[in-house]
Amino acid sequence: MDWQKFIKSTPYELYIDGAFVPSASGRTFDMVNPANGEVFATAYEGGTEDCEKAIQAARKAFDEGPWPKMSPRERATLLRKAGDEFAKMKEEFAVAETLDCGKQYMSALYYEADMAADAFYYYAGLTRLVEGKVVPLGQDVLNIVEWYPYGVVGEILPWNGPMMMGCQKISAALAGGNTVVVKPSSQAALTMLMLPEVFERAGFPPGVVNVVTGPGALIGDYLVESKDVDMVSMTGGTETG
C-alpha cells in the first residue's frame, strides 16, 4: 500500500471556529512512527493563545449558536452524516492511526475505524431517547425532570487509541447539545487533526468542534483551569490526571 497518498506533505493545522489554521507561534512538531522511529508527517503545535481561541469559539457556539438549540432529531441527523463521512474516509483514518500509534493496519481498519464510525450512529440514536419525566411525589406535588445541554466540554485524549476513543467522546458530548475543544496527545494527534474534515462535510456549525494540539502540561492544564470550560473528559495516566 502506498500510505503516502493519505498523508499531507505540509503541516497539519489546528481547527478553530470552523477553520483550519496554523498555530499562533508557527511552531511545528514531528509525527513519528513508533514502529520504525521515522518521521512521517508534521503538525502545528498549539499554545495557550490557540487554546483560548478554541475555548472562546466553543463558548460562543454554545451561548449564541444553533447547536444546543437544535432538536434531538436535528442533531441526530448531523451525527449520522458525520458517521457516513467518516466511513467514506475509513481507509485514510486507519492508515493514519497505524502510522501514528504503531497499530496493526487490519485492526485499525476493521475494528477501530468501524467502532469510531459506529459511535456517531450510536449517539445519533441516543439523542432521541433522552426524555424528561414527571414523577408524582404526593398530593398536589410533582417532580419534573428536564435535560439540558451542559456547555463547553474539554476532551483530553491518550496516545494509544485516539481515533476510536476520540470519536466516542466527541459524539457523546455533541449528542447532548454541547460544544467541544479536543486536545489529543502530542504522541498521536493525527486522526483528531483529520477529524474536523468529517464535521465540515457533514455540515456542523462553526465552533461546535475545535481541535488544539500542544503539551499536556500546557494545553491540558489550560483547558482544565479555564472558567469558560464547563466540563472536562480526560483519559490518561494517574500522573496526568
Specify the range with the lowest mean pLDDT, choosing from 96-105, 158-167, 193-202, 230-239: 230-239
For residue 208, report the phi and psi dihedrals to the nearest 5 degrees.
Answer: -70, -40
52-99 confidence digits (pLDDT tens): 999 999 999 999 999 999 999 999 999 999 999 999 999 999 999 999
Predicted TM-score (pTM) of the model is: 0.94
Look over the chain and give the mean of its residue pLDDT values, rounded to a whole number. 95
Report the pLDDT value the prediction gives residue 2, as an integer from 0 to 100. 77
Q: What would the mean pLDDT of 163-169 be, rounded to a whole number?
A: 97
Task: Give the number of domains in the chain.
Answer: 1
- Reduced to 3 states (helix: H, G, I; strand: E, B; else coil), residue 127 is helix
Report if residue 210 sits inside a domain. yes
| Banded pLDDT at 133 (limits 50, 70, 90) | confident
Is there a domain that residue 240 lies in? no
Tell me if 158 is assigned to some domain. Answer: yes
Residue 202 is which amino acid?
A
pLDDT tens by residue, 30-47: 999 999 999 999 999 999
Residue 191 in contact with residue 93, Cβ under 8 Å?
A: yes
Reply yes or no on whether the pLDDT at 50 is more than 70: yes
- pLDDT tens-place string over residues 180-212: 999 999 999 999 999 999 999 999 999 999 999
202: CATH: 3.40.605.10
Sequence-ordered list of residues with C-beta below 8 angstroms from that of 232, at least 6 positions apart, any chain: 153, 154, 155, 156, 223, 224
Note whether residue 239 is domain-resident.
no
Question: Which range marks the domain in which residue 118 is found?
Answer: 3-234
Higher pLDDT, 62 or 241: 62
Pick 130 or 57 by higher pLDDT: 57
User: Residue 241 falls within a domain, yes or no?
Assistant: no
